[in-house]
Chain A
Amino acid sequence: MKKVYARPAYCMNCHLCEVNCIVAHSRSHDVFRAYKRENLRGTGRVIVEEKLPLSVAVQCRHCTDPACVAGCISGAMVKDPATGIVYCQEDKCVGCWTCVASCPFGAIRPGEKNGRPLPLKCDLCREEGEPACVAGCPNRALVFEERRAGA
Chain B
Amino acid sequence: MNYVLIGNSVAAVNAVAGIREYDREGDITIVSAENYYAYGRPLISYWLEQRVHEKDLPYRPETFFAQNKVRVLLGRRAVRLDPEARQVFLDDGESLPYDRLLLATGGRPLVPPINGLTPENHYTFMTYDDVRRLEKAASPGREAVILGAGPTGLKAMESLVRRGVKVTLVELADRIWAPALDPGAADLVTGFLQDRGVNIYLNDTLEGVRQGDNGRLDLELKSGRRLAADILVVAIGVRPNVELLQDLPGVTINRGVAVGPDLSTGLPGVYAAGDVVAGNPPLLPHAAIQGKIAGRNMAGGRETYKPVLPYNALGILGLHIISIGLSAAGEGYEILREADPAARVYRMLVLQDNRLVGGLLINRIDRAGIYRYLIEEGIEVTSFKDRLLQPDFGLLSLPDNLWQQQLAK
Contacts and interface: CB of A to CB of B under 8 A. Distances in A.
Do A's and B's CB atoms come within 8 Å in the complex?
yes
Interface of A: 5-6, 8, 47, 49-51, 54-56, 58, 61, 63, 65, 67, 69-75, 91-92, 94-98, 100-110, 147, 149-150
B43 A108 contact: no
Interface in B285-336: 285, 288-289, 292, 311-315, 320, 322, 324
Given A49-B396, A101-B368, A110 B284 contact: no
A105 B395 contact: yes
Interface stretch (B52-60, B89-97, B136-144, B200-208): B52-60
Interface in B237-290: 284-285, 288-289
Contact of B315 (A71, A72, A95, A147): A95
B284 A73 contact: yes
Contact of B406 (A51, A96, A104, A147): A104
B366 A110 contact: yes
Given A50-B396, A65-B292, A110-B365, A98 B285 contact: yes
Interface stretch (B77-85, B116-124, B370-378): B370-378
Contact of A74 (B43, B314, B376): B43
Interface of B: 14, 40-43, 46, 51-52, 56, 58-60, 284-285, 288-289, 292, 311-315, 320, 322, 324, 365-370, 372-373, 376, 392, 394-397, 403, 406-409
A96 B313 contact: yes
B407 A5 contact: yes
A5 B406 CA distance: 11
A31 B370 CA distance: 31
Contacts of A51: 396-397
Contact of A49 (B365, B373, B395): B395
11 contacts: A58-B395, A65-B292, A73-B42, A91-B56, A92-B56, A96-B314, A97-B322, A100-B322, A100-B365, A100-B369, A106-B369
Given A96-B314, A104-B369, 7 more contacts: A73-B42, A96-B42, A98-B285, A98-B312, A101-B365, A106-B369, A107-B369
Contacts of A73: 40-43, 284
A83 B296 CA distance: 20
Contact of A58 (B43, B322, B394): B394
Contact of B43 (A91, A94, A100, A101): A94
Nearest to B372: A101
Contacts of A69: 288
A98 B373 contact: no
B313 A101 contact: yes
A149 B160 CA distance: 49
Contact of A6 (B52, B284, B407): B407
A97 B315 contact: yes
Contact of B313 (A50, A100, A109): A100
Nearest to B155: A96
Contact of B285 (A70, A106, A110): A70
A74 B56 contact: yes
Given A5-B408, A110-B320, A101 B366 contact: no
A44 B273 CA distance: 37
Given A50-B396, A74-B52, A106 B292 contact: no
Contacts of B285: 67, 70-71, 98, 102
A94 B313 contact: no
Contact of A94 (B52, B60, B373): B52
A19 B314 CA distance: 31
Given A49-B395, A70-B292, A104 B372 contact: yes
Nearest to B373: A104
Contacts of A109: 366-367
A-B residue pairs, 3 tightest by C-beta:
A104-B373, A106-B367, A103-B369
